[in-house]
Structures are given as C-alpha cells and as structure tokens.
Amino acid sequence: MTTTAEPPSTAETPSTTETSSTTGTPPTTGTPHTTEHTVTTEEITAYRAAARAGLPPAANDQASPVHAFVLAHAEADRTVRSLIAGQEASVVHLGQDIRLRRPVRPGESVGITLDVLGARREPRGTRVAVRTRLTGHDGTEFAELVAAALLVGANGIEPFGEIPQGSAPAPAGPPGEPATATHEPTPDGIRAYAHASGDLNPIHLDPAAARAVGFENVIAHGMSVVALVCEEIADRYAHGDIARIRAVSGRFSAPVLPDEPLDITLQPDAGHTVVRFTCRTAGGIAVKAGRAELAPAPEGDGPHD
C-alpha cells in the first residue's frame, strides 16, 4: 500500500492505479504468513535522515517508530494487491496505527507476520484491514501495526472477518501549550524518502505518473508526513529521544504536494504523554485524527517545550 491520501474533492483517491492481469481467487480468511528481514544501521540512519528533511540531524541513531511500517510495508502491499488480482482496481491507504513495545534495533533479524483481519463492501469498492506483527531475534513481539485500505473498484472479494473500529481516545489530562511547525516538502526530499523507505511508487517520483492518476504533481508519501511529525514530537517533548514514542496513528485525507507549505499543529497534554496532531496544506487537511503516545521520561528528564 503506497501511502498517500484522498483529495478533498473525492474523499478517496487511488494511491496508484492497479490494473492486474493476474488471475486467482482472493483469500477469504485472514491466514497469517511470515517473512524475515535483517535491519541494518545504515537503513535506520538513512530513514531518519529522510524523515528529518528540514530539521537538524538526529540527536541519536535510534530508529523512528515509523520504521516498523517500513518493515511491514512491502509484505502488506503484496498481500493487499493479491486481493485485487484479476480486477481493475486501485489501492488507497486510509489510515495507519502503529504500537511498539520498543523500537526496531539495528542488526536484528525481524520476523514479519501478516494477516488480513477482514474485508467489507463499500459503495466504491472494498475496505480491508491488515495487521502486521514484528518479532525480534529473541522471538518476542515488539510491534503491531494495523492498516486500513480501500480497494477502489474491487467488487470480487467476499466479505469476511472484522474491520477494527477506531474510537476517539479519552483525554489524557488537561491540555498543554499547543505548538505549530511549517515545512515545505521538495521533490528531492520526496525522492530521498522514497529510496530510504523502499516505496518507489511512480506517483512519488514521476510527475507524469502522478498526473495519470489525477494528481497535479508527484506527492509526498503519507507516512513521510507521519514520520516528520514524530521527529517534531521527539525534539519538542522528549529531548530528542524518539524511542519514547510508543504509538502513533493517523488517517490520510488529502495529498501533500512538493514546494507547498505543510502546517503541523501539535496539541500535547500537560504531561506530554499524548500529543494529538493535524497536518494541513492549502488543499486541505492531509493527516487528521493524529495521535502519538510517549513513554514516561527517564527520572530527571521532565516535560519541556
């Protein structure tokens, strides 16, 4: 699932056009399967650098919480596209939830177990939920991700399972002081993120390919925006310790184009344990219902702005 967004005029737009000639019967149950990937220090460093475009270099070599998505993405994308084999359909990444017990570690072999939780019919296609679990070299699960996607034009999938229903979390105490940041993605920055994340969908790299599916220009990866928000949150509320971010989620609403301002609004609670966020461009809200959860600060490292 290439991470992208829904233009405000249609509420949902393909992240890429998928016209598949492959035949086969889409799965009707969420049967898990597992692959492995060995994470390198170079991958972690390159991803942090790409995510921090426009920010100073990272204060440490810890992995971004969004690196868990990078590991899950390729297998999740293959699985979702297998569901639309033989159909003219396109994939829209609607939302992402990431929960971690700890960050990805350099040098470890990560087990990636994926299952499709459910599918349901909607007027424009089929909504699916895909869950990915990451397991470290010691066999302990350290991350769980749930992605929501709309398979636009896909009508050949029998409904099964359940689609997790998101709910508005209860306030985590009184609000703290809100903060804002403005960034301006560039084509070079989008290209750097594409290579660091391994998501080389042409809509992020080739203006002609982006225009062919209805965008004005190449668009930024939606998860690059979430990764940038995580970097802002770590810098502002965790002394740069990005490993303290143990959960992050958001829903994609509109594309982010290069060379246009991206305004990020952060609303922490008073203790800086939960930070809600919204990302907006001139075209509308790009990421909504954003939420990051931070582990408690080490002793002597209290909240700060």
pLDDT, tens digit, 9 for 90 and up, residues 139-166: 999 999 999 999 998 888 899 999 987 6
Query: In one letter, which amino acid is 125?
Result: G
pLDDT higher than 60, residue 127: yes
pLDDT higher than 70, residue 62: yes
Which has the minimum average pLDDT: 17-26, 47-56, 80-89, 228-237? 17-26
pLDDT higher than 50, residue 126: yes
Average pLDDT over residues 73-89: 87
- Give the 3-state secondary structure of residue 239: coil
Mean pLDDT of the chain: 86
Which has the minimum average pLDDT: 79-88, 94-103, 260-269? 79-88
pLDDT, tens digit, 9 for 90 and up, residues 17-53: 332 323 333 343 445 667 888 999 999 999 999 999 9
pLDDT at 156: 85
The helix or strand, by DSSP H or E, that contains position 100, with its residue range, turns out to be: strand 88-100
Sign, Cα dihedral of 3, 114, 67, 267 = positive
Q: Could you tell me the two tokens for 285? A: 């809200």
pLDDT, tens digit, 9 for 90 and up, residues 184-195: 999 999 999 999
Most confident of 54-63, 170-179, 227-236: 227-236
Q: What percent of the chain has pLDDT over 90?
A: 67
pLDDT, tens digit, 9 for 90 and up, residues 240-254: 999 999 999 999 999
pLDDT at 23: 32
pLDDT at 174: 84
pLDDT at 28: 38
pLDDT at 29: 43
203: nearest Cα among 8, 12, 10, 13: 13
* Cα end-to-end span (Å), the chain: 35
Q: Give the DSSP letter of residue 110.
A: E
Instruction: Quickly list DSSP for 195-231.
Output: HHHT---GGGT-HHHHHHTT-SS----HHHHHHHHHH
73: nearest Cα among 227, 208, 214: 227
Phi and psi torsions of 64, nearest 5°: -65, 145
pTM of the model: 0.87
Q: Are 204 and 195 in contact (CB under 8 A)?
A: no
More confident site: 213 or 188? 188
pLDDT at 108: 92
pLDDT higher than 80, residue 299: no
Mutual angle of helices 67-83 and 41-51, in 10-degree steps: 90
More confident site: 73 or 168? 73
